[in-house]
Structure 1
Amino acid sequence: MPDTADLSPTIIETLYCEALLLADETRSAFDLSGRLETTSLNEDLARVALSCEALRTTTRMMHAIAWLLNQRAYFSGELSEFQLRRYGRLAPPQAASDGQQLALLPAHLLDLSERTARFYARIERLDMAWRGRFSMQPTAVHRLRDRLGAAVMAF
């Protein structure tokens, strides 16, 4: 696998702008969604599904924006690398949406939810790649010793 590019202020700023646009679209869509007609026979279940997905989607975006704000603070010198590594963690991904509840939502909200999930996954990959730089890797001598030990045990 090729080396991943380091994060740069340009990458973070571009993602931050994209996140703000997506968060604003999410806010607008779910603000208006309370006035949309439900297509379900059970309006209460549709409203619960709508509330759950609204909370899940907005939370996902707020976690991504918080991570991006920490990265921006690091690049502007407001956070040290130690502080960023310690406190700038991306929140773990949320549980997947319930398929039955998703079936009650309009298509444009499903599309928006999927786009926010893809955006979060991008941020998550960047965070994992950045944190991977700090994981302890065994030295070549230790890897060779492990391979020799495994070969001896095979005989």
Structure 2
Amino acid sequence: MKSEPSMESGKTIRLAERRVFSHSFKPLYDEGMGLVEQTAEYLDGQGRIDARNLSRLAATLYAAESMRLTTRLMQVASWLLLQRAANSGEMTRDQVAAEKSKVRLDTASAREDAAGWSELPEAFQDLINRSLSLQALVRRMDDEIYGDHSAFAASAALRRSNPVSDQIMLLNTAFARG
């Protein structure tokens, strides 16, 4: 459902809201989905080859970071899909707000000074850094549009019985036709 940007204090335009609920959302959506695709291609192809040549320490870090990277990108993709559904009128903003409470935009990564980080393939490090930048942008936009609901999200996360099931349900909702 498209709507006009909200006004705060009667005069301030919320730029993130304007960006998400307009045609300028498409480049952000394309960037996010492109990064998901590039990451999948790397992890299924060259990444497997690169991982074989790592020390035990770096291979363990690679495995952990691969899981964090894919989790981070699944969450960002879910958020982007929900915003696209709202932008195209497939979901109301209230429905999106309810569903997005299942999306976590706080998947961390090891620091660059972590043991074994310097051994990780450069292409892999680039994907991690790009995903972190995208997640930070999406989180800022989410906070501006919907408000910072960190306390609510933390309590909701504790109540979850199965995060994978929640993610599948979220994706099904985002693609559901009504």
TM-score (norm 2): 0.64
SS at match of 1:9: coil
The whole-number CA distance in structure 1 between the counterparts of 2:69 and 2:91 is: 28
Alignment of 1:6-155 (within 5 A): 6=18, 7-31=20-44, 32-36=46-50, 43-89=55-101, 90-98=103-111, 99-132=114-147
**How far apart, in 2, do the equivalents of 1:37 and 1:76 lie?**
41
Contact 2:39 2:127 in 1 (8 A): yes
Please give the alpha-carbon distance, in whole angstroms, between the structure 2 residues aligned to 1:117 and 1:95.
Answer: 8
- TM-score by structure 1 length? 0.73
For 1:20, the aligned partner's letter is M
Aligned-residue offset at 1:132? 3.1
Contact 1:9 1:72 in 2 (8 A): no
**Aligned-pair Cα RMSD in Å:** 2.2
Are the counterparts in 1 of residues 75 and 105 from structure 2 also a CA contact under 8 Å? no
Q: Return 5+ residue gaps in structure 1 as ranges.
A: 134-155
1:47 counterpart letter in structure 2: A
1:14-66 deviations in whole A, cap 9, x for unaligned? 211111211111112222212126665xx332222111111111211111111
Question: Within 2, Cα distance between the matches of 1:77 and 1:13?
Answer: 15
Query: Which has the higher Rg, Structure 1 or Structure 2?
Result: 1
- The residue matched to 1:63 in structure 2 has which SS? helix
> Residue 110 of structure 1: CA displacement?
1.0
Equivalents in 2 of 1:127, 1:107: separation in Å? 30
Question: How far off is 1:3 after superposition?
Answer: 4.2
Percent identity at matched positions?
26
Q: Which one is further off, 21-30 or 123-132?
A: 21-30
